[in-house]
Structure 1
């Protein structure tokens, strides 16, 4: 039996010869992409955790989910780099049969890890959108959000299960000569890519549609649009991942064709993590400016605590636009981040005008809305 480490995994095309020793590879592109995206994602999540734990002193469910997604992103990228060392990103006729088996095995594990990682990042982002924009537990906006949230979870879990059970036994994936059954991994890959495109586009337009309807100054609308418009990077990444996934089904050069799919998947995960963390950036900038101006920065109590002097509130007319707290939920989950709380107040004004209000509770709710990052 020949040594699989010396046998090319694919017959070279006319005009090419196999080179198992020092072939051309996309390895450097993988290193650069992994380095940039991991650095950006880590900084973004640390910034978010700092703002929520140290400044606002109120960690919430989406913060923990986003941190877990970052850990999954590290595992995903680490396995991608290992796969590149085995031959991913190299033309298959320059990869040994033994290394091809490693690439196939690692690619399957990578796709399994990808599903909960991207799902966690999207769930964290959706929960954040709900806290900022969804004031009423009724209406089209609420149900659109709920459908998007609860549709993503079973879909990604089903796709992850399809990769886990791609072959029975699993070893048949990289040892196709073994007895057993397999389903098409390419179909699962295209299904996950198509799901990403649909959910990314929906998650992009959901906040932008609300922002356009909000009664806010143009400058605030632009800031909010830029903050939540970062989701367009995820749309671009998922679209390219889908395109390269389709191209992968049309080639026998698997080790070369799978590389751009992985590169765009890294970019997509990074984009979703950034989209979930960047909304905290305006508050971080204000916090840093407060530090620079005062030397110590403003102090923030826990949610529900009394506000320090110097914090301003919206006018009584803005408060009157808020829905009744008993019907629309509490307002202790708002984001004390300048333009974010403006959005929360303005989103409340979208509730039907005939909604009954409790004038007494509006006064209390007003102090929970606008925070002025005044100097200590």
Structure 2
């Protein structure tokens, strides 16, 4: 039996596809339940996962043509199709990785307050997509005719292999840099807010998990120089897994912050609390501040709503330039744990991940 990395590739790809889908689905469920619906960052992240799915499918089909085997063990007639499917899949995967970073940048734009923060988020989000667009262009203009990219036996000429290799290293390095920069933004923005310190730490940790995507991308950049054209179909499998890992980790990292409210609700119930929330948006067309007396003698308004024009740009559910945190709706919380006082308890924690 010939040595092959094909089964390892297929198992890795589809495991990551399923896991990332589970986290994405959880994000969407939480957004549907706890916020005012989906936004552009959600739609873009869904597109990113679809790109990941297409990549996994193409790479899987590529293994049926011999990808994952040593080059000498593959039928010469199958090599062009194996490489073609892989190249197209990796280009689509790159688009998925770029758009997943853009999605996170859009999410961070909701809590960005300063002009330089907004500028950098737009810059990194768009430049990630632009850099990948160049990668697509370079792939299809590197050889004349284009078929020679995946079929070396076709007459024609190509750019030097080293030029494409260097751009691949640059792309991976720049992608990792974007991951690291975006991971630091939550700390810069959220740490200055008037929140409980434990809440700040929890929010920052959840929103900084993209750091791990950067680590995966650094690993990919370090591995690229080890690839040779002599046994490309066997040695590049690890690189293909790293590409999948980058997308999956980014999707997971950008989805987890939206789980906070679900986790808080679960913990509240597990401690014997029964949390009843009532949306009070319809009580006032102007969304004015409601007092405890206006709601119930035992109820407490957790926060005041903000104007629509302000709340749309805040992932925190509302935040002014003075760094006050307010939720985007009025809610009443009752403590029904059977304690002797039976007193209403105020849920005063700000929720930065409500979307």
Structure 1 residues 218 and 288: CA distance shift in structure 2, 3 A: closer
Structure 1 residues 49 and 190: CA distance shift in structure 2, 3 A: same
Out of 101, 105, 120, the position equivalent to 1:122 is: 101
Out of 152, 173, 182, the position equivalent to 2:149 is: 173
Structure 1 residues 178 and 331: CA distance shift in structure 2, 3 A: same
Asked if 1:312 corresponds to 2:301, the answer is yes
What is the distance in 2 between the residues matched to 1:366 and 1:115? Answer: 38
Asked if 1:331 corresponds to 2:311, the answer is yes
Out of 219, 235, 238, the position equivalent to 1:257 is: 235
Map 1:71-150 to 2 at 5 A: 71-131=50-110, 133-136=111-114, 138=115, 140-150=116-126
What is the number of equivalent residue pairs in this alignment? 322
Partner of 1:275: 253
Structure 1 residues 371 and 180: CA distance shift in structure 2, 3 A: farther
SS of residue paired to 1:199: helix
Asked if the contact 1:88/1:103 (under 8 Å) is kept, the reply is yes
1:104-151 alpha-carbon deviations (Å, 9 max, x no partner): 2122102221222112211111100111x2024x2x322222322232
1:171-208 alpha-carbon deviations (Å, 9 max, x no partner): 11233232334234434432322221221121222223
Deviation at 1:211, TM superposition (A): 3.8
What is the distance in 1 between the residues matched to 2:141 and 2:3? Answer: 33
Residue segments in structure 2 that go unaligned for 5+ positions in a row: 337-355
Asked if the contact 1:62/1:125 (under 8 Å) is kept, the reply is yes
Partner of 2:322: 349
1:227-247 alpha-carbon deviations (Å, 9 max, x no partner): 022112201110111111121
What is the distance in 2 between the residues matched to 1:85 and 1:374? Answer: 59
Structure 1 residues 288 and 299: CA distance shift in structure 2, 3 A: farther
Partner of 2:328: 368
Partner of 2:137: 161
- Give TM-score scaled by structure 1 length: 0.73
SS of residue paired to 1:98: coil
The Cα RMSD (Å) is 3.5
Structure 1 residues 290 and 214: CA distance shift in structure 2, 3 A: closer
Structure 1 residues 76 and 311: CA distance shift in structure 2, 3 A: farther
What is the distance in 1 between the residues matched to 2:167 and 2:65? Answer: 23
Structure 1 residues 81 and 373: CA distance shift in structure 2, 3 A: farther
Structure 1 residues 153 and 300: CA distance shift in structure 2, 3 A: farther
What is the distance in 2 between the residues matched to 1:243 and 1:371? Answer: 51
What is the distance in 2 between the residues matched to 1:89 and 1:142? Answer: 43
Asked if the contact 2:66/2:79 (under 8 Å) is kept, the reply is yes
Deviation at 1:68, TM superposition (A): 1.1
- Deviating more after overlay: 34-43 vs 84-93: 84-93
Residue segments in structure 1 that go unaligned for 5+ positions in a row: 1-21, 351-361
What is the distance in 2 between the residues matched to 1:300 and 1:226? Answer: 29
Asked if the contact 2:175/2:217 (under 8 Å) is kept, the reply is yes
SS of residue paired to 2:236: helix
SS of residue paired to 1:178: coil
